[in-house]
């Protein structure tokens, strides 16, 4: 009989958390009961339903990209999430896969745009993926003599080297800066994919298969060993695990998943350029994984979908405005309690805005002479509410700084002052958005992605679906 | 032939001699304790035997075969398992996974076999599961079933020590090296661990080498005691012989002031 003490109390903390009330508890219970494959089946069905109802070709392409990044972050998760290897050369294997497909399924190996290998996808993809695995082992064997930061630096070099190699080595075959184009569409067993929807189905199939494979690997002896060496390499070594070999394996498996993603990317794009595989893309993949939850397959998929979808929404002004104001409203509803306080904030924002607009308009008419940047009904709604001067650039820049100050004030202040800071900051945010941010979509996309990442990490430090991790106790 | 032979072992870190010409023999099915003040070199001996450090001179043999220069995982696969003084569990894995992970070296299924759940992978997984449960059951209520799916970091200090022993057992060792198994335990738990070490020898017919500071534990379990100080073997023998040896008393208590005055 175990005596009940502090030990017991700590040990049962998870059970206590599950004792919550209402829908949360029901959800937690259901979550604990359902196995992995019904979940994956559910996600697959959702993906198929999406394909049935979507008719917009652009959205289908975005959906393909979402799955592509889901795949990429699942692969990265093997090295970073499970084995704890800060692999900054991952992008090279994405590129390796894409260029591999481009070489084997095009006229690249022929001369003057004719001839070439033109292999079917079921031939070229396995060849390329296995080759990526072998290259992964070779690079892994060299890089893994180093650990921690040193390993990261060497792999970063590998990523950079890849871009330089395809730029400069053998432009006749690899295309140099002009890249390779006119690739064969994905064709195998009499099926040729030509539509965005077709590639979406392909990406869905590959994503589901890779997710299943990785789950089965995670729960096997290899997966356990990877996670063990992430927690404590010395103890793993003392407990019969060959740490170096396991690290090379993890690096190589990550490389193979990256290469799979590369092949379908190349087939869908029907061209490849060196600029598709720069450090920017690597950072985006890391963002997917970190946002979704390092170490979790479901998190990697969700992160890939969320980041890619958000990025695409932010590049269209209408969608960007929806996302911007939508996030503010959601944040208010989630964070501001009780309802009376929420009502006060909403009323405060509306009144404060119109009053400020009226005062500024009366004092200096030129300060309100501009019109809101958002298109459509949001723009007309904001007209007469936000302050947009005739020439908004400098004003907008100043507002941007004011917005950051306002956000800091919200974090630092308490009580009624915080309430006032929230009201003023939301108004400043709206003015800043309409006068400056929406005018520069490329920069705004980056700022918003960064903001989404910061807020998510502040609310959920382990990512959307990540598990609590302990480093040292 | 002794199971473990440490033969004129020396280890120097630069100019510092951590171990000097140490001879130790541990026979099959024996429990040997190593005692000595902090910094005497006890844990360093463990680190050399388990392959973390390579000795400067001398030899270490397991069952007559030299194991010097082998990687730690190779030595562990040959049958030497250890625990760590400063606990080194896989904190973010569950209790059961911690134990199962230590069977890596004794299982063979390749990643493709595991992914496809081919017969060998399934059989091994069943065996590993059974082994983990058997090993954890050794600790009775302390590591009872409801804990098996908890992450290791929620365990109490004493339970982490138990889990480290369970994990070491899962490597199917011939020689088990325990580094301060009773550290941080209360008197009742210390009694339990003393009894447990005896059971490990009797029921699993293990050979056990223990580092321990708690003299009740040392007295309760040891067939033989070795006292170390400054990397040198001070004396060796039964608990009472060693405990009453003047050099041991001096190492622990300091010199008798009167004797000092006379000298």
* DSSP-derived secondary structure for A103-134: HHTSSTTSBTTB------HHHHHHHHHHHHHH
Q: Which of A450-454, B14-18, B49-53 has the highest mean pLDDT?
A: B49-53
Give me the pLDDT at residue A191, please.
83
In A164-303, beta strands by DSSP E:
180-181, 187-188, 191-192, 271-272
Has residue A370 got a pLDDT over 70?
Answer: yes
Return d(Cα B24, Cα A316) in angstroms, integer. 75
Q: In chain B, how many domains are there?
A: 1
- Encode A188-215 in three state secondary structure: ECCEECCCHHHHHHHHHHHHHHHHHHHH
CB B49 within 8 A of CB B177: yes
Closest by Cβ to A7, choosing from B52, B156, B171:
B156
CB of A232 within 8 Å of a chain B CB? The answer is: yes
**Closest C-alpha among A212, A223, A261, A248 to residue A99:** A261
State whether A231 and B90 contact (CB < 8 Å). Answer: yes
Minimum mean pLDDT among A142-156, A202-216, A276-290, B177-191: which range?
A: A142-156
Which of A17, A129, A240 to probe by mutation at the B interface, max B CB count within 10 Å? A240
Q: Which of B75, B77, B92 to mutate to test the interface with A (most CBs of A within 10 A)?
A: B92
B142 contacts A240? CB cut-off 8 A: no
A368 against A133, higher pLDDT: A133
Q: Domain ranges in chain A?
A: 1-33, 36-314, 319-439
A2 and B142 within 8 Å at the Cβ level: the answer is yes
C-beta atoms of A225 and B101 within 8 A: yes
Mean pLDDT of chain A: 87
Chain B, 181-200: which have a CB under 8 Å from a chain A CB?
none
Question: Which pTM was predicted?
Answer: 0.86
Asked if pLDDT for residue B34 goes beyond 50, the answer is yes
Cβ atoms of A372 and A386 closer than 8 Å: yes
Closest CA to B105 of B130, B128, B135: B128
pLDDT at B75: 95
- Could you give the 3-state DSSP secondary structure of residue A277? helix
Q: Nearest CB to B93: which of A1, A222, A228?
A: A228
Total beta-carbon pairs less than 8 A apart between chain A and chain B: 134
Percent of chain A with pLDDT over 90: 44
Question: What is the per-residue DSSP string for chain B?
Answer: --SEEEEEEEEEETTEEEEEEEEEEE-TT-EEEEE-STTSSHHHHHHHHTTSS--SEEEEEETTEE-TT--HHHHHHHTEEE--SS----TTSBHHHHHHHTTGGG----HHHHHTT-HHHHHHHHHHHHHHHHHHHTTGGGG-GGGTTSBGGGS-HHHHHHHHHHHHHTT--SEEEEESTTTT--HHHHHHHHHHHHHHHHHH--EEEEE---HHHHHHH-SEEEEEETTEEEEEESHHHHHT-HHHHHHHH---HHHHHH-
Task: Please report the ipTM that was assigned to this predicted complex.
Answer: 0.92
pLDDT score recorded for residue A2: 44
Query: Would you state the structure tokens that stand for residue B263, as one six-digit string?
Result: 């000298």
Q: Could you report the per-residue pLDDT of A297-339, keeping only the tens digit for each? A: 999 999 999 999 988 888 888 888 888 898 888 888 888 878 8
DSSP secondary structure of A8-72: HHHHTHHHHHHT--HHHHHHHHHHHHS-HHHHHHHHHHHHHHHHHH---HHHHHHHHHHHHHHHH
Task: Return the higher-pLDDT residue of A449 and A303.
Answer: A303
Distance from CA of A208 to the nearest CA of B (A): 14
How many Å lie between the alpha carbon of A193 and the closest alpha carbon of chain B? 28
Tell me which residue in A2, A217, A473 faces B91 most closely, judged by beta carbons: A473
Mean local confidence (pLDDT), A423-445: 87
Task: Return the pLDDT at A317.
Answer: 81
Residue A473 has pLDDT above 60, yes or no: no
Tens-place pLDDT, residues B97-122: 999 999 999 999 999 999 999 999 99
Contact A235, B88 (CB under 8 A): yes
> Per residue in A77-129, pLDDT tens?
999 999 989 999 999 999 999 999 999 888 877 766 667 778 888 888 999 99
* Nearest by CB: A235 against B84, B92, B107: B84
Q: Which residues in A437-448 are b (16+ Cβ under 10 Å) and which e?
A: bbeeeeebbeeb
CB contact (8 A) between residue B141 and residue A238 = no
Look up the domain containing B95 and give its range: 4-262
* Residue that the structure tokens 């060993």 belong to: A225
pLDDT at A36: 86
Nearby residues of A127 by Cβ (< 8 Å), 6 or more positions away: A100, A104, A119
pLDDT at A381: 87
The average pLDDT across B55-60 equals 93
Q: What secondary structure letter does DSSP report for A271? A: E
What are the chain B neighbours of A237 within 8 Å (beta carbons)?
71-73, 76
Answer whether A221 sits within 8 Å of B97, measured CB to CB: no
Q: Report pLDDT for A444.
A: 82
CB of B216 within 8 Å of a chain A CB? The answer is no
Per-residue pLDDT band at A9 (split at 50, 70, 90): low
Closest-CA distance of chain A to residue B215, Å: 26
> Which pLDDT band holds residue A63 (cuts at 50, 70, 90)?
very high
Give the one of A14, A217, A227 whose C-beta lies nearest to B93's C-beta.
A227
A129 CB neighbours in chain B (<8 A) are: none
For residue A1, pLDDT over 50 is answered with no
Residues 6+ apart with CB under 8 A from A313: A319, A320, A322, A323
Mean pLDDT, rounded, for B2-18 = 91
CATH number at residue B228: 3.40.50.300
Quick check: A239 and B167 CB within 8 A?
yes
**Residue A224 touches partner B, C-beta closer than 8 Å:** yes
Which tens digits make up the pLDDT trace of A373-394? 888 888 888 888 888 888 888 8
A9 touching B, CB under 8 A? no
Does the structure show a pLDDT above 70 at B147? yes
- Please state which of the ranges A60-69, A98-107, A328-337, A344-353 shows the lowest mean pLDDT: A328-337
Residue of chain A minimizing CA distance to B140: A1
Q: Can you give the pLDDT at residue B146?
A: 83
Element (H, E) at A417: helix A415-435
User: Which chain A residues in 236-265 lie under 8 Å from chain B, judged by CB atoms?
Assistant: 236-243, 249, 253
Average pLDDT over residues A450-466: 81
Across the range A267-271, mean pLDDT stands at 90
* Minimal Cβ distance to A2: which of B97, B115, B141: B141
Distance from CA of B145 to the nearest CA of A (A): 13
Distance to chain A for B248, nearest Cα, Å = 31
Is B91 close to A222, i.e. CB distance below 8 A?
no
| pLDDT score recorded for residue A34 | 81
Q: A231, B109: Cβ pair inside 8 Å?
A: no
**A226–chain B nearest CA distance, Å:** 9
Minimal Cβ distance to A238: which of B76, B92, B159? B76
- Cβ within 8 Å of A, B 50-109: 50, 52, 71-73, 76-77, 81-82, 84, 88-93, 97-98, 100-107, 109
Q: Who among B104, B111, B156 is closest to A240 (CB)?
A: B104
CA B195 to chain A, closest CA, distance in angstroms equals 17
Instruction: Note whether A238 contacts B82, CB cutoff 8 Å.
Output: yes
- For the cut 90, the answer to whether the pLDDT of residue A249 exceeds it is yes
Residue A10 has pLDDT above 70, yes or no: no
- The rounded distance, in Å, linking the Cα atoms of B189 and B175 is 23
Which of the pair, A75 or A187, is modelled with greater confidence?
A75
pLDDT at B200 over 70: yes
Q: For the ranges A66-70, A147-151, B180-184, which has the lowest average pLDDT?
A: A147-151
Average pLDDT over residues B62-73: 93
Summarize the confidence of residues A264-272 as an average pLDDT: 92
Cβ count near B203 (within 10 Å): 9
Query: Is residue A463 pLDDT above 90, yes or no?
Result: no
């Amino acid at each position: 009989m175990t005596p009940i003490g502090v030990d017991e109390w700590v040990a049962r903390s998870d059970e206590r958390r599950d004792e919550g009330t209402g829908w949360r508890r029901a959800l937690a219970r259901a979550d604990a009961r359902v196995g992995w494959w019904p979940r994956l089946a559910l996600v697959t069905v959702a993906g198929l339903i999406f394909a049935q109802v979507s008719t917009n070709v652009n959205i289908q392409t975005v959906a393909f990209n979402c799955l592509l990044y889901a795949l990429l972050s699942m692969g990265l998760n093997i090295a970073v999430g499970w084995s704890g290897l800060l692999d900054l050369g991952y992008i090279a294997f994405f590129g390796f896969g894409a260029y591999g497909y481009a070489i084997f399924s095009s006229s690249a190996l022929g001369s003057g745009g004719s001839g070439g290998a033109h292999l079917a996808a079921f031939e070229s993809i396995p060849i390329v993926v296995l080759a990526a695995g072998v290259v992964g082992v070779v690079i892994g064997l060299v890089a893994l003599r180093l650990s921690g930061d040193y390993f990261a630096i060497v792999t970063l070099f590998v990523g950079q080297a890849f871009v330089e190699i395809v730029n400069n080595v053998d432009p006749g075959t690899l295309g140099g800066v002009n890249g390779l184009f006119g690739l064969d569409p994905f064709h195998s067993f009499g099926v040729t994919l030509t539509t965005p929807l077709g590639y979406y189905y392909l990406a869905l199939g590959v994503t589901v298969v890779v997710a299943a494979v990785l789950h089965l690997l995670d729960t096997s002896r290899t997966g356990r060993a990877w996670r063990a060496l992430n927690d404590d390499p010395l103890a793993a070594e003392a407990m019969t695990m060959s740490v170096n070999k396991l690290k090379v394996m993890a690096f190589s498996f990550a490389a193979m998943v990256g290469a799979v993603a590369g092949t379908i990317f190349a087939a869908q794009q029907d061209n490849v350029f060196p600029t598709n595989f720069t450090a920017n893309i690597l950072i985006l993949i890391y963002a997917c994984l970190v946002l979704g939850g390092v170490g979790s397959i479901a998190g990697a998929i969700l992160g890939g979908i969320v980041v890619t979808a958000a990025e695409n929404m932010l590049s269209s002004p209408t969608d960007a405005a929806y996302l911007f104001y939508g996030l503010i409203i959601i944040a208010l509803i989630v964070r501001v309690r009780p309802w009376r306080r929420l009502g006060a904030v909403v009323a405060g924002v509306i009144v404060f805005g119109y009053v400020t607009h009226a005062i500024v308009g009366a004092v200096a008419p030129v300060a309100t002479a501009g019109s809101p940047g958002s298109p459509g009904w949001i723009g007309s709604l904001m007209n007469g509410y936000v302050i947009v001067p005739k020439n908004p650039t400098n004003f907008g820049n100043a507002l941007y700084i004011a917005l950051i100050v306002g956000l800091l004030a919200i974090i630092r202040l308490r009580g009624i002052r915080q309430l006032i800071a929230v009201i003023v900051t939301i108004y400043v945010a709206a003015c800043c958005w309409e006068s400056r941010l929406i005018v520069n979509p490329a920069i705004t996309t980056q700022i918003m992605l960064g903001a989404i990442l910061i807020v998510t990490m502040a609310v959920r430090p382990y990512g959307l679906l990540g598990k609590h991790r302990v480093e040292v106790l | 032939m002794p199971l473990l032979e440490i033969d004129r072992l020396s280890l120097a870190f630069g100019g510092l001699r951590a171990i000097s010409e140490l001879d130790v023999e541990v026979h099959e099915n024996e429990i040997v304790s190593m005692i000595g003040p902090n910094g005497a070199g006890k844990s360093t001996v463990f680190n050399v035997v388990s392959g973390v450090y390579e000795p400067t001179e001398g030899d270490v043999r397991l069952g007559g075969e030299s194991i010097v220069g082998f990687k730690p995982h190779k030595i562990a696969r040959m049958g030497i398992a250890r625990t760590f003084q400063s606990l080194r569990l896989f904190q973010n894995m569950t209790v059961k996974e911690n134990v199962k992970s230590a069977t890596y070296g004794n299982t063979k299924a390749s990643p493709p076999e595991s992914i496809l759940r081919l017969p060998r992978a399934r059989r091994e997984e069943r065996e590993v599961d059974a082994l983990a449960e058997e090993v954890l059951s050794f600790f009775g209520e302390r590591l009872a079933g409801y804990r098996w799916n908890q992450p290791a970091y929620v365990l109490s200090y004493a339970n982490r020590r138990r889990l480290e022993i369970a994990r070491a057992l899962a490597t199917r060792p011939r020689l088990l090296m325990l580094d301060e198994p009773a550290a941080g335990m209360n008197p009742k738990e210390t009694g339990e661990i003393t009894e447990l070490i005896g059971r490990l020898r009797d029921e699993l017919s293990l050979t056990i080498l223990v580092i321990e500071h708690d003299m009740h534990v040392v007295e309760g379990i040891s067939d033989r005691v070795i006292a170390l100080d400054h990397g040198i073997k001070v004396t060796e023998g039964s608990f009472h012989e060693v405990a009453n040896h003047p050099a041991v008393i001096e190492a622990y208590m300091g010199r008798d002031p009167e004797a000092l005055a006379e000298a």
